[in-house]
Every structure is written in C-alpha cells, then in structure tokens.
A and B are shown apart, each in its own frame.
Chain A
Amino acid sequence: LGGSVAGPNLNKQVASPLISMVDYASVALDGPAKLPIYLDDEGIPATDAVLIEDGILKGYMHSRESAERFGVRPAGNARAWSFSDEPLIRMRNTAVLPGKDKLEDIIASVDDGYYLLRTGNGQADLTGEFMFGVTMGYEIKHGKLGKAILDTTVSGVAFDMLKTVDMVSDELIWSSSGFCGKKQMIPVSMGGPQMRCKMAIGGR
C-alpha cells in the first residue's frame, strides 16, 4: 500500500523457482519456531504466511486492516512492542526454505566469488534495494575457500538477486537475535539455507 515493489507483483515470478519463503507462526519445519507467536496483538490466531512459493509471490504479511483491503484472512502478523504501542505489521519467523544441494558442492561450483557468513546491520527499501554489512566472509577461488575478507557491504535489488539463485543448500540455519526496527524495535527471527547468487559487493 505504501508503494513497495512487491505491490504489483502478486502471483508473478519474483525469484528463482528454487526459492520459497514462509513467515512461520509457532512451528517451523522441524520443530518450534525460535520466537513462537500464537496470537498477535490484534487478537488474530497466528498461522503461517506463505510469501513466495517456487519463486512466485503468493502473499503478504497483514494486519486486520490491510487483510480486509486485500480480501484475505490475516495470519497474525500485527505486533506491538509495549502496551502503549499500536500493533504494526511485522515478520515473525521468516525463512527461505532449504533446497537439495550440499554446501560443499555449492562452494566447489564457484570459480571466483565469496562465501559470506555473518552480517551486521542491514536495510531494505520499498524499491527492493537492500544493503547488508558483512562482518565475516571468505574469498572463493577455483572452488576452494581462501582468505578472509575485511568488513564489506553487499547490496542489490531483492527480486533481481533472488532471480539469480541457482543452488540452494539442504540446511536451514536460524538466527533469533534480530530486530525489526520499524518505529518500535521488536525481536524477530529469520532463517535460511546457503544460496548461490549474484549481487554487488563493495569496498575499496
């Protein structure tokens, strides 16, 4: 509704067919979600929200109001930080689903690239443009891990980058130390497999 690039792309291919993304409520794949939510702060019972399925944008995260505008059922994404805050649409436990490839095969397939493991801060925009500070990573040369890289930044446009994904590992790693900083800071968890993709990597 605010002009996000996702707006006109419902039911369209926005990512590689290897990409599926779900915002889980209380149970995620192999067990309890890292930050289980059973009821949101608008009183909606929390259910999973399928965002991308096989590369196709299937849905959004909603509040009662936005769900009514889109003619769908809300899945319990409206959360507030403190008693005096208004509920805002938030991610809960958002993950890209694992694929079938082995990490060692993904690394071996890269002739000249990088393996990026940890990020610091990051931001994303309505246009899909994103940035993440990378605090831990390695060069890959001829299919093998090489030197560690100094702090650097990656950026790109989300849907463009997701369309370049051509290998997805079979492991899912969760992180529950993140925050959604939209007006009120609130804990969120996110997860995903290793993926081979193309994006801009910056530094001097």
Chain B
Amino acid sequence: MKDIKECANLALAGLLAGGAEKASVAVYETEQREFNAEGGELNLLRTVFGKSLSVKAIKDQRLGSVSGNDLSKEGIEKAVEDVLTATESAAQDPNYDIAEKQENGEFRLPCYEADMDRFFLRVQELLKDVKEQYPKINVMLGVCSHMQSHNVYKNSNGTQFEVFEGAYNVFLEFSAVEGDRSTGINGGGFTTINLDEPFINHPALRQHLEESMGQLDLVPVTGKQEGTVIFTPDCAAQMLMSLLGNYASGSNVLDGTAQWKDKIGQQVVDPRITMKVDPYDARIVCGHRYTGDGFRTEPVTLIDKGVLQCHMLDLYQANKLGKKVTKLAGNGYILENGDKTLEELIRGVSYGLLMGSFSGGSPNASGEMSGVAKNSFLIVDGKIQGAVMETMVSANLGELFNHLVGLSSETTEDGSMSMPYVAVSGVTISGK
C-alpha cells in the first residue's frame, strides 16, 4: 500500500473489527540521505527508505502492542492479528487508555524536501574549513544527513495527526593530534533547517573544536578537594536529563524511587533555575507535535524558579497515580539563561573545572554519582590553567542544583535544546 493514511485506516478498522475497545495506529515513512566522512574525506552517500507501523489495542483492559515494517495489506492484517493475540495474554489493568479526542491536525514543518546539492556543498565546505582553521583536528567520522519523515497517527477516539517534517543533521567526531600526542574523542553536532551559514560557524560545533584544541596541553590534577564545576551547555544538558530522569520521570515516580515523587509545588533546586519543554519554540527544530498516547503536545514548564511544577508522566502512569498527564514527546528542553557571562563565571572560580562532558556510571536512586571529567579544563584563581586527564568528579545530583553558582547569559542551541553554561559548587574533584 502506498498511502500511509490508507495503511492507518486499514489497521484501525481491523483492530476495531477484531474487538479492540480502544486502539491506536502510527505509520511512518522516512527517507534519509546521508553523507559519511572518514579521516576528513567524504566516502559514502546512501539513501535509506524506512517504513514502520506501530499498533496498540486495548481489549478487556488488556494492552497489546506490536511494531513492524511491512505495510502491505497482508503485513498490516498480520500486525492486527498479532496485537489482538497479544492482548489475550496481557495482564488486566484499568489504567491502560488512549488520549481522548483531540483536535485533528496536519502539520507541515519546513525543510521536508532537501536541497541536497546545497547540503553537499556545505558539508564539503565544513570538512575543508576544519582542515584549514583547525589543522591539528583529525575528523575520524562525519555523519551529515537529511531526514524526511511523513507520519500519520490515528486512534479509535477519532483523532488524526499527520506530520510532514524534515531537517539536516550534522555530526563530527574528532580528536586533536600533534606529533605523538593525541587528545580523547570529542564530538559535536546540530540539527538545522537552514543552509545559509557555513556549518563551522555553528556554536554547537565550534565550541567542541575549540575544546579539543585546548586538550593538547595537559596540566596535572593531584589529590582530592572540593571545587566549583562549570558545565558546558552539552554537559549541562547531560546532567539535567539525568536529574529529571532520576528524580521526576514517570517510571521512577511510579515505582517509588523518584526523590521528587512528593515534591510538586516545592522548591527542589535553586530559584534561578527555570526549565521547560517547548517543541514549538523557534529554537527547536522538528519539535514533536503529538505524544505516543495521542495527545497534542504542549509547552510544559517542569521547574519554575526552582519549584517543581509536574512529573513527566505518560497516560498510563498518570492514571495509575491519579495525576495529570504531561503532554511531552521527547525534544525541546530549554533552560533559561542567567545574567553572568562565561568569563565572569570562570573568574569567580578559585578551584574547579570547566567540564565538557561527564563519563560515569548512572546515578543510583539516591543521586550519588561519580565519573571522569572529559574534555575538561582546570580553573585556578579565576584562570584556565590547561586541560585535565584522569580526573574524577563526584557529587550528589540533586544537591548539585541546589549549589548553583550561576547560569551564563550565553546559550547554545543545537536544534533539540537551548542551554547556558551552568556553574555549581560542592563537587569533589580527584586527580592522581
């Protein structure tokens, strides 16, 4: 079947005819055109066509779900048969549900069609610019693609969403090499719909290239002491996602391990922190328009001036807990910036790190975490001394954001988020 709306209609009709009381179907067709580069040279162009079908059925309070990629009539009928069979062996739970009727929507986002000629020239230019502006940088891997997606969601409450979207994704993985010295792996990238500017000027990439160049000059870190760590925007995103995942995610709230399970309306982090998810913000590319449960997404403020506004609950979790569902679908995280420049933040650090990324074990339920500071620099008396290696940081994730020193006025946007630099104190820094 060529038309994915027809596929969705066939699947939904089959589910209802098969006795499902509630059902939903999501069908995707995608086309990804990807350039790869290795050793700084383009070496691959491929086009990958993707199709997927995801069906969900609730019958007698039992949930079944099946995914596949066969969109022929026979393939769809088989998926329907399989999902109805799956419901028969599922556990009963009255909390399974789909979203009530939503206003239908057809969303045509920019950049559905790719300008591959112009994209190729920008990619070629990027590799050349890296060689010329950063001759010590060795680009191990470059993956630059245009992803086009057409998807349809329908459910038995009469909701239909159809989305046409596309975007260019640019990612480089590299290290700096000088003689027999080599830095660790670094990587940076972004998602964009705009080919007007040379890619090397994108802050999300430039910052990482500069980081790697600085990593060639190491300084020793010895002993163990407490200090202030300034997270780069990427690292701040890593920390915040970990914090929200551990402390406010639906799965952890449901199983009782979330530290913030009873903290809605309470101060959980510094009052200077306001964090929201807004897929419609102009800085976010291809923000999701609907959730897996069938809700239209909405901008959601998770933390407002340090006060927890909501947990991140899907419909099942919300029903189980007797709480409101959060209509989130995965991208568009925005942390509001502060009023100090990065330079001011660095000047205020007597001992600490400017940390590019954190390589560590997942924090446990209590929030304790420890790991290696990667692509990081030592700060002493307000000045960057040099790059560090074999340096571990340890802290409690929840306490960290109550020891906020400041947020930078500068932010970095990579298409999926907007983050400032974030400085926190009370981090244990250990060297050799």
Contact = CB atoms under 8 A, between A and B. Distances in A.
A3 B179 CA distance: 10
Nearest to B36: A86
Given A150-B368, A200-B390, A126 B362 contact: no
Given A84-B46, A126-B185, A127-B182, A151 B361 contact: yes
A189 B56 CA distance: 34
B158 interface: no
Q: How many interface residues does chain B have, given as a range?
A: 35 or more
23 contacts: A8-B180, A84-B48, A121-B362, A125-B185, A127-B182, A127-B183, A127-B184, A129-B389, A131-B371, A133-B362, A151-B361, A151-B363, A151-B364, A151-B368, A153-B360, A155-B371, A157-B390, A202-B392, A202-B394, A204-B368, A204-B370, A204-B396, A204-B428
Interface string B235-271: 0000000000000000000000000000000000000
A1 B39 contact: yes
Interface stretch (B87-95, B96-104, B135-143): B135-143
Interface of B: 36, 39, 44, 46, 48, 138, 140-141, 143, 175, 177, 180, 182-185, 359-364, 368, 370-372, 374, 389-390, 392, 394-396, 428, 430, 432
A36 interface: no
B360 A131 contact: yes
A24 to B, nearest CB: 26
Nearest to A8: B180
Contacts of B390: 129, 155-157, 200
Given A3-B175, A131-B360, A200 B392 contact: yes
Contact of B44 (A86, A120, A153, A202): A86
A158 B430 CA distance: 18
Contact of B389 (A127, A134, A153): A127
Contacts of B175: 2-3, 126
B177 A3 contact: yes
A152 B182 contact: no
B138 A120 contact: no
A155 B364 contact: no
Interface string A73-98: 00000000000101000000000000
Contact of B372 (A2, A150, A152, A153): A153
Contacts of A1: 39
Nearest to B365: A151
Given A3-B177, A155-B392, A121 B361 contact: yes
